Structure 1
Amino acid sequence: MTEQTTGRTTGRRVRANINVSLDGRYNGPGGPGDLGAIVPYATTEVARDHLTRIWEGATTAVLGRINAEGFLGYWPTVADDEDADPRDRGYAKWLVDTEKVVFSTTLAEAPWERTRLVNAPVADVVGELRATGTGDILINNSVSVITALLAADLLDRLYLMITPEITGSGQRLFDDGLPASRWSLTRQEAGELGELALVYDRVR
């Protein structure tokens, strides 16, 4: 797989991962907690291998408040579970140990160790991260952050897991109004349940 550079002097890429249904929705008609079209495919071999690719090489995790609080209730327990799948545990340990930036307008204190809270425009914060440090920046499943970066054309790589279900309603990842952009498919893998793991790099 060809790695593309961003042209920035640090070489830091901004990457994002998200799971969506076949009709492009990241939740179902029941709202943010309705993940019935997503969860059944999260533990397949293809999904777990995809998860490992997502975090390897990243040194900063960026999350929105909702995901940060939700992840806190789950991933640290996986990191400590010796019986967990090694790929799940690898991601969990990385997430617990790495630098984290959480966007929030309401939190008074950071919900994780090694976490910095920010209340500022997404593009400004990620632009500053990109200009300093080493290693890639990973936007963890946080749609509000992902769409803000798509709008600012600051995403370099997009990891998509597409599940073979149509929800019919729910929130979409790609809403109207985003600027046009072109992407190159750099990896694809299909699972036994019909799920697709896709990696796209921004073509500039």
Structure 2
Amino acid sequence: MTEQTAGRRVVANISLSLDGHYDGPGAPTNMAWVMPYAVTDVARDHLTSLWKPATTALLGRVNAEGFLAFWPTVIGMEGADPRDEGFAKWLVDADKVVLSSTLRQAPWERTTIVDKPTAEVVADLKATEGGDILVLSSASVIKALLEADQVDRLAITIFPVFLSGGPRLFDDGLPTGQWELVSQAAGEHGTLALVYDRVRAGRPTAP
């Protein structure tokens, strides 16, 4: 039986290459390899299923700058896919927490800048009311939460490319534990969307 932490759920979402990298070698944040697959139906439906139950977006500074510069421009864009526009509107309206030691003031609405350890920030968020806490592709944040065993749902979109190097999401030394596959979908170009829930003793299954 899938068991999970009561209260707010921490949902981590990230895209990986088939050889296990979230970025290529030598060009950090170059996401050109993602784009042909991110616009497939399976990838768009996957993201939609994640943001709809969420009320808080948690991001690192680099991803926040990228996401919050681009996504608001999708609202009202001619020819925009309704799922993209739906996510854009959600991101603008959601409470956003950005982890940064360099930013002092948020340049975006409904955004709080926090300079504290990731695990501590998430523990504080889980003590408040709200829906899911969605970590949007910020690998450093997700890695810290995996290390602290604070991820309740792990959503991975696998794109059928080899990057032949670059950083990996899963480092040696992560806490041992069991995960259960709760959703899977395959789509265009071999895109694969997987959702796993962390199995925890003594907690009821979450939908």
TM-score in same-fold range (> 0.5): yes
Query: Is the 1:15–1:158 Cα contact (8 Å) retained in structure 2?
Result: yes
- Aligned match of 2:136: 140
- Aligned match of 2:12: 16
The one-letter code sitting in structure 1 at the alignment partner of 2:30 is D
- Aligned match of 2:5: 6
Secondary structure at the counterpart of residue 77 of structure 1: helix
Shift in Å at residue 193 of structure 1?
0.4
Secondary structure at the counterpart of residue 193 of structure 1: helix
Equivalent of 2:149 in 123, 148, 153: 153
Deviations 1:109-144 (A, max 9, x none): 112100000000111110010011121111111111
Shift in Å at residue 199 of structure 1?
0.5
CA distance in 2, matches of 1:37, 1:84: 21
CA distance in 2, matches of 1:25, 1:110: 30
The correspondence of residues 72-111 of structure 1 with structure 2, limited to 5 A, is 72-111=68-107
Shift in Å at residue 198 of structure 1?
0.4
TM-score (normalised: structure 2) = 0.92
Alpha carbons of 1:82 and 1:133: their partners in 2 closer, same or farther (altered >3 Å)?
A: farther
The one-letter code sitting in structure 2 at the alignment partner of 1:122 is T
Alpha carbons of 1:45 and 1:153: their partners in 2 closer, same or farther (altered >3 Å)?
A: same
Secondary structure at the counterpart of residue 61 of structure 1: strand
Q: Tell me, which stretches of 5 or more residues in structure 1 are unaligned?
A: none
Q: Tell me, which stretches of 5 or more residues in structure 2 are unaligned?
A: 201-207
- Aligned match of 1:61: 57
Identity in percent? 61
CA distance in 2, matches of 1:131, 1:100: 16
- Indicate whether 1:125 and 2:124 are aligned: no
- Aligned match of 1:195: 191
Shift in Å at residue 82 of structure 1?
4.8
The one-letter code sitting in structure 2 at the alignment partner of 1:50 is H
- Indicate whether 1:38 and 2:34 are aligned: yes
Query: Is the 2:2–2:199 Cα contact (8 Å) retained in structure 1?
Result: no
CA distance in 2, matches of 1:79, 1:183: 36
Query: Is the 1:184–1:203 Cα contact (8 Å) retained in structure 2?
Result: yes
- Number of aligned residues: 200
- Aligned match of 1:171: 167
Q: Which has the higher contact order (CA 8 A, sep 6+)?
A: 2
Large movers: runs of 4+ above 3 Å: 2-5
Shift in Å at residue 3 of structure 1?
8.3
Shift in Å at residue 164 of structure 1?
0.6
Query: Is the 1:159–1:197 Cα contact (8 Å) retained in structure 2?
Result: yes
CA distance in 2, matches of 1:67, 1:57: 21
Query: Is the 1:69–1:111 Cα contact (8 Å) retained in structure 2?
Result: no
Q: CA RMSD in A?
A: 1.5
Query: Is the 1:184–1:200 Cα contact (8 Å) retained in structure 2?
Result: yes
Query: Is the 2:4–2:198 Cα contact (8 Å) retained in structure 1?
Result: no
Alpha carbons of 1:23 and 1:98: their partners in 2 closer, same or farther (altered >3 Å)?
A: same
Query: Is the 1:72–1:111 Cα contact (8 Å) retained in structure 2?
Result: no
